[in-house]
Structure 1
């Protein structure tokens, strides 16, 4: 990646996080993916060095930096070889806490955020539902307030909730006024910071159930269906004002989109770099395959797409930070942040997909993962000892 134009803080983050990630080689991530094992050591290492609080207030134990620096952190993690497993193991702790830091009560902020920063607690984002997908305004999980106003009863279902098995807290978006009773769909939503109570390691409190989703890839981090059946939560878990949850959650969703765009960039740059190295090493008909335009040009095109998406991504992150700043003289509208963040996520994802696809094609028959023996070593004689081997 061309790094001209980044701030000193961003480059410091990139260097320091890359140094930490180097302690977790590709073999670590392959083993955790194959064994469906949470990368808790990686999460702990980032927490120990304070990275989980990169974009959270200093008075709560954070670094007081912005989503611009957090996006650089997530890009560096994905680019290191940790990929989406490394990113997903920690990114909700960065973006899901943004609404809590801005709109939460003093008790919520001081009682929750420092424990997330320290790594004692992990959090997850409870938004997506089976029948709504990206149509957040149509979600139907309902939180009914009790007659005495002391609690809410939550009924509904969430899906594709990452790290729910290891999370202590969930940022839950639910309806406090049903869809049929509101004037427009953006009304009637509320945000809660709730406990995912467990009576043991394998069972949950009454009214709460989780079912792990079996995945073909990305298995180092868990994905879940979460079921609520009159699950009781205290009234003081409400974040901000009741029925204003959609406006509040945008501070988390826009941050999420910036971070995910950075993660996509990391995947894309890593793929192009590996493919480019291989084109110099693979010799056919007496010369390296990278000397052929049919190989070199698609990779160059992929790199330029990543560079363009990079500018969109960090533009969105800057707008987000400026919109949150109390000292900025520029008034940044939230809808402008939303347009930039959505655009960045889409462009970066498209660029990363193209880069990864072309990297696989560049490797030809070696573009597929090598088969493994029962002992865990590579079965391919070519793969053993190669610098491209993911087990090195």
Structure 2
């Protein structure tokens, strides 16, 4: 079992670090305040070849893997972006890139993958519904046959990045539950234009991750061409799971980077801050121990996440590793960033110190893209063999 990075992986991580440092903390504070999509940052990521690292070479990617993508996200997040970086990779090379490269038609791959990899187009995914949050099998959005295509109607909620996207991965029912042989039958994935008649959206005001909007999305008899199906008609459930489990990997990588950044900011502050006789507060074990504890937990999450990525790249099952990594990372990052703020005292509450943004953003990932409780359900059933509790 080799835990060493290759020279190529080290170079990729260093390249990502340099791109991230070019923008830095003030860039992200400004975009957070303006609730502005970080277009310049994402363009630089794409120009450096980092967006397409795990996508096919024949379509402009590097043909490497999820390990390299995780390393990139860690560095970009730690350089200033925080958790939001994981979301940027989630909506573009995962929701757009992975879904198309693994399940899209050859024509779709030729047309869309180069544009995703170059940053010419952005993507989003419409899955969650008001009455079907974690229970995706209960979604009501329905695509009805209409000639060679479909008519799509329904509503989605908490859809990330719609306002900056040109393409949307939509998950809809194409066969009603009562007409399906089993609950997992009847779901289909479509890749459609965001700018399409009958598709409207409205932003949701939220606490953090302000550089990417979250929206209510409405489909009112939206026309969908037959060529816009991704994967198998009525058989999209297990294909969707492949996309969602890679979503866990990029989320965890963003959390690891954000926690590393917050702890580093706290350590730097503590070394400079002197009270009660002139000793730096960094010398106090009351501050050292909790920071060290959370740093250790983050490192464990990082290793589990890299294992998940390596399993994915090797074509092996990776769901347990991806979910466990995300569970530990979300808890450790939230606690570590909270402790960083506590270390700074009142200054940790000031926007100039940046930790409060990391704190607000990290809170989302205790329940998104999958909640801690649903991961524990997964572990209880899949790994412990316990009966379903729901």
Tell me if both proteins adopt one fold, taking TM over 0.5 as the criterion.
yes
Deviation at 1:86, TM superposition (A): 3.7
2:303 corresponds to 1:305: no
1:389–1:27 Cα change, 3 Å: farther
C-alpha separation in 2, matches of 1:310 and 1:46? 22
2:263 corresponds to 1:272: yes
C-alpha separation in 2, matches of 1:284 and 1:310? 35
Aligned to 2:198: 207
TM-score (norm 2): 0.86
Please report the RMSD computed on the Cα atoms of aligned residues, expressed in angstroms: 2.0
CA contact (8 A) 2:262 2:355 kept: no
2:342 corresponds to 1:344: no
CA contact (8 A) 2:142 2:154 kept: yes
Deviation at 1:6, TM superposition (A): 2.6
C-alpha separation in 2, matches of 1:19 and 1:178? 50
C-alpha separation in 2, matches of 1:181 and 1:271? 51
More helix by share: 2
Aligned to 1:129: 129
TM-score (norm 1): 0.86
Aligned to 2:14: 15
**Count of aligned pairs between the two proteins:** 354
Aligned to 1:154: 152
CA contact (8 A) 2:200 2:217 kept: yes
Deviation at 1:9, TM superposition (A): 3.0
Aligned to 1:26: 25
SS of the residue 2:259 aligns to? helix
CA contact (8 A) 2:245 2:323 kept: yes
Deviation at 1:95, TM superposition (A): 0.9
1:236 to 213, 217, 227: 227
C-alpha separation in 2, matches of 1:15 and 1:213? 36
Alignment of 1:314-333 (within 5 A): 314-323=306-315, 332=316
SS of the residue 1:231 aligns to? strand
Aligned to 1:102: 102
SS of the residue 1:23 aligns to? helix
Alignment of 1:1-392 (within 5 A): 5-96=4-95, 97-146=97-146, 148=147, 150-197=148-195, 205-286=196-277, 287-323=279-315, 332=316, 336-370=317-351
Could you list the runs of 5+ residues in structure 1 that have no partner in the other structure?
A: 198-204, 324-331, 371-377
